C-alpha cells in the first residue's frame, strides 16, 4: 500500500499544478462544473501568500503556509469526489464554496503591509476570525451573495478545533457534511505529510510566538503529539468511516487503488513517532531528517535556547 499516491503527478512547489489537479477532479464530478469563482479565489490566494497582493506581506509562517493550504484544498476535493461516487448529492455551488474556504482557511496568519512586528504566528489564536474577515473583504465581490459568504464563514469556523460542529450555523445539512469533510481534510492533510513530524518543530515555534504555553520544547510537542492523535480521532469519529470510504472511492476511481493513502501515511508517522520516543528520552527530534527541516530550524532559531 503506497502512501506516495498523495503526491503522485502533482508538484506542490508549483501552485498551478495543484490547481490543475483540483480542476481535473471537479471535471470528474461534472464535465460542466462551473470553476470560475474557485479558480479566481485560488489565484488571489496564491498572490496573497507570495506577497504579490497590495496591502499584504508575504506569508512568513513556516507551518501554516500556502503548501498547507494547497494540501488541504486538494484533500477536500478528493473527499468530495469520493462522496459523489458514494452516491451523496452535493450541490456544485456548495462544493465550490468549500474549496474556496479550504484555500483561505488559514489566511488569517497573513500580516497586513504595515504590520512589521514578528510574524503571522502571533495571530494563531485569532487566525480563524481574521481569515473570515479577509475572505469577506477581498473576495466578497467575486459573485458571492451574503448567504454564501455566511456559508464560507461557517466552513472556515469548522476548522477551529475549539468549535463543535453542532454549534456552527451551517445553512443546510449538505453544508455541514462539507464542513466535516473540510475539517477532516485540514487535519489529515497535515498529519499525512511525509515530513509531518519534522514540521511539528516549526509549529512549536509558531506556538511560542503566539504565547501558547502548552508545549515547553521541541521534544515536548513530539511527546504530546501521541495524545493529539487520540484527540483528533475523537473529534473525527462521527464521520471517520464515511470519510475513509470517500477517500478510498476517489483513489479507486482515479488510480485503481483500493486504499486511503492519507490514513496509511498517518499510521506510518505514528509508528515512527512511537519508535523514536522509545529510543530517545531527551531529544527525539535528532531522529528527524526529512526535507532539511531540522537544519532550517537550527539556523533560524539557533540563538533561542530551548529545554529538551
Helices and strands in the chain: count of H runs, count of E runs: 11, 0
C-alpha cell at 197: 513530524
**Is residue 305 pLDDT above 60, yes or no?**
no
According to CATH, the topology of domain 10-301 is: Catalytic domain of cyclic nucleotide phosphodiesterase 4b2b (1.10.1300)
**Above 90 in pLDDT, residue 245?**
yes
Q: Which residues contact 230 (CB under 8 A, 6 or more apart)?
A: none
pLDDT band at 306 (very low <50, low <70, confident <90, very high): very low
User: pLDDT confidence of 8, banded at 50, 70, 90?
Assistant: low
Name, in order, each residue with C-beta under 8 angstroms of 245's C-beta and a sequence gap of 6 or more.
Answer: 82, 86
Beta-carbon neighbour count of residue 103 at 10 Å? 29
Inter-residue contact 298 to 207 (CB < 8 Å):
no
- Residue ranges per structural domain of the chain: 10-301
Q: What is the four-CA torsion angle of 139, 143, 146, 150, rounded to 10 degrees?
A: -50
Quickly count: other Cβ atoms within 10 Å of residue 147's Cβ: 8
> Among 131, 159, 123, which Cα is nearest to 41's?
131
* pLDDT band at 31; cut points 50, 70, 90: very high
- The CA dihedral of 192, 198, 201, 202, to the nearest 10 degrees, is -70
Q: What is the spatial distance between Cα 48 and Cα 66, in angstroms, rounded to a whole number?
A: 9
Query: What is the rounded distance in angstroms from the CA atom of residue 119 to the CA atom of residue 58?
Result: 10
Q: How confident is the model at residue 3 (pLDDT cuts 50, 70, 90)?
A: low
Tens of pLDDT, residue by residue over 266-287, are: 999 999 999 999 986 678 998 9
Q: Is 291 left (phi over 0), alpha (psi -120 to 50) or beta?
A: left
> Taking residues 173-186, what's their average pLDDT?
97
Residue 228 above 60 pLDDT? yes
Q: Is the pLDDT reported for residue 128 higher than 50?
A: yes
CB 8 within 8 A of CB 63: no
User: Would you say 112 and 199 are in contact if contact means Cβ atoms under 8 Å apart?
Assistant: no
**How confident is the model at residue 2, as a pLDDT?**
58
Q: How far apart are CA 164 and CA 146, in angstroms?
A: 23
Task: Give pLDDT tens digits for 83-101.
Answer: 999 999 999 999 999 999 9
Query: Given a cut of 60, is residue 307 above it in pLDDT?
Result: no
Amino acid at each position: 500500500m503506497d502512501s506516495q499516491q498523495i503526491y503522485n503527478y502533482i508538484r506542490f512547489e508549483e501552485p498551478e499544478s495543484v490547481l490543475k489537479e483540483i480542476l481535473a477532479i471537479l471535471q470528474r464530478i461534472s464535465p460542466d462544473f462551473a470553476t470560475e469563482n474557485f479558480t479566481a479565489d485560488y489565484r488571489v490566494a496564491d498572490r496573497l501568500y507570495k506577497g504579490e497582493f497590495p496591502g499584504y506581506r508575504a506569508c512568513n509562517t513556516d507551518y501554516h503556509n500556502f503548501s498547507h493550504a494547497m494540501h488541504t484544498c486538494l484533500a477536500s476535493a478528493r473527499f468530495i469526489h469520493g462522496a459523489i461516487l458514494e452516491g451523496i448529492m452535493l450541490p456544485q455551488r456548495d462544493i465550490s464554496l468549500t474549496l474556496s474556504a479550504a484555500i483561505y482557511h488559514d489566511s488569517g496568519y497573513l500580516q497586513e503591509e504595515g504590520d512589521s512586528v514578528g510574524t503571522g504566528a502571533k495571530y494563531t489564536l485569532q487566525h480563524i476570525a481574521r481569515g473570515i474577515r479577509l475572505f469577506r473583504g477581498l473576495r466578497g465581490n467575486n459573485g458571492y451573495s451574503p448567504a454564501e459568504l455566511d456559508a464560507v464563514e461557517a466552513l472556515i469556523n469548522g476548522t477551529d478545533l475549539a468549535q463543535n460542529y453542532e454549534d456552527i450555523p451551517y445553512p443546510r445539512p449538505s453544508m455541514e457534511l462539507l464542513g466535516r469533510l473540510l475539517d477532516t481534510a485540514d487535519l489529515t492533510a497535515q498529519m499525512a505529510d511525509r515530513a509531518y513530524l519534522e514540521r511539528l518543530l516549526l509549529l512549536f515555534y509558531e506556538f511560542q510566538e503566539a504565547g501558547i504555553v502548552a508545549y515547553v520544547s521541541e521534544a515536548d510537542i513530539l511527546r504530546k503529539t501521541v495524545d493529539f492523535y487520540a484527540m483528533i480521532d475523537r473529534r473525527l469519529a462521527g464521520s471517520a468511516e464515511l470519510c475513509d470510504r470517500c477517500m478510498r472511492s476517489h483513489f479507486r476511481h482515479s488510480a485503481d487503488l483500493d486504499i486511503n493513502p492519507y490514513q496509511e501515511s498517518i499510521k506510518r508517522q505514528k509508528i515512527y513517532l512511537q519508535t523514536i520516543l522509545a529510543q530517545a528520552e531527551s531529544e527525539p527530534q535528532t531522529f528527524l531528517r526529512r526535507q532539511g527541516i531540522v537544519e532550517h530550524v537550527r539556523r533560524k532559531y539557533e540563538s533561542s535556547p530551548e529545554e529538551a
